[in-house]
Amino acid sequence: MPADPPPLPSTAPSPCPSCSAPLAGRFCSACGERAFDAGELRLGSFVREWASALTSLDGKVWRTLRLLLTSPGLLADQRCRGARVRTLAPVQLFLLANLIYFLLASTTPADIFTTSFHGHLRGQIYSGTAQQLVHERLGLDASALATDAGRATLRAYAQRFELVNQRNARSLLILLVPLFALLFALLQRGRPRGSAEHLVLATHFGAFFLLYVALVAMWALFLVVAALHIVGLEPPRVVLEPIGTLLIALSSAIWCRRAFVRFYGNSARGALLRALAFASLLLLPFYAYRAVLFGVTFLEV
């Protein structure tokens, strides 16, 4: 009696290691997972994978940063047309800019985002309300503030406030993005762009603001002041603050003018007028951000 023939090899596709769907070909049609190869566990393959990942990430990061600074509006336009592979996503870019800014913020002569405790209590639209809230919480009136004990109580509270305030300033910066987007939407009424598209451009502008205006522009102002100091001139603070504000406004207007032409299709003149209007309104989002920063910190301390 002849022996039974050997069983034929199974032709059933192996399951995807990620979603267990039948895997046909190199990639899963359900989730996109690549077919597993035991050779990937070898040291050489692991080293090549790390080198490829780092090279790819580095190229993507530098390409995104270069386009952000040299071609305003292009990243947003590409994103809204579906081109996503070669550059960072808007939120990734903003988080990277946030990280870079706060790593380098201690080296800059001015931090325009982290408002100090006393900065909250003076010079802001909400400062009167902030003072009242703090004094009521600490049980301090005008007579108590005039005493050493009252001033010591306020100093101790200020120290606790500053610690929480510094942490919240980093996490709440993202609130500026929808405020920028709201201004874009108001200035570009009638243009064929939706709310999400305004947010994409606003996220890119926020990243630009963190990387260029808050770092480069502030250092430029510092170097000008240092040069004046060397030649024996000491410009008063009341003069420096308007100059810093003007420098920020002009930098923002230049970026926005180019972005508005490319992203919204404005004419050169229309983009310039809208960019100048945006720059003139730029303080409003920052006042709102600082008010929220104070409120959140006040509730935590």
Distances (CA, A) of 73 to 186, 206, 256, 261: 17, 12, 8, 8
Q: Tokens representing 268?
A: 């050169």
Q: Tell me, what's the pLDDT at 224?
A: 72
User: Which of the residues in the chain have pLDDT under 70?
Assistant: 1-13, 36, 38-41, 45-58, 106-112, 214, 217-218, 221, 225, 234-244
> 104 with 110: CB under 8 angstroms?
no
> 293 with 165: CB under 8 angstroms?
yes
> 259 with 73: CB under 8 angstroms?
yes
Q: Tell me, what's the pLDDT at 61?
A: 86
Q: Tell me, what's the pLDDT at 241?
A: 63
What pTM was estimated for this model as a whole?
0.76
Q: Tell me, what's the pLDDT at 170?
A: 81
d(CA 160, CA 137): 14
d(CA 231, CA 233): 6
Amino acid at 152: A
**Where do the domains of the chain lie?**
12-41, 63-300
For 60, residues 6+ apart whose C-beta sits below 8 A from its C-beta are 86, 87, 88
d(CA 75, CA 255): 13
Q: Tell me, what's the pLDDT at 108?
A: 60
d(CA 29, CA 12): 16
CA angle 233–238–242, rounded 5-degree value: 100
Q: Tell me, what's the pLDDT at 261?
A: 96
Amino acid at 77: D
Task: State the virtual CA torsion across 237, 243, 247, 249 in degrees, nearest 10.
Answer: 100
Q: Tell me, what's the pLDDT at 22?
A: 79
Is residue 113 helix, strand or coil?
Answer: coil
Largest CA distance in the chain: 114
d(CA 165, CA 167): 5
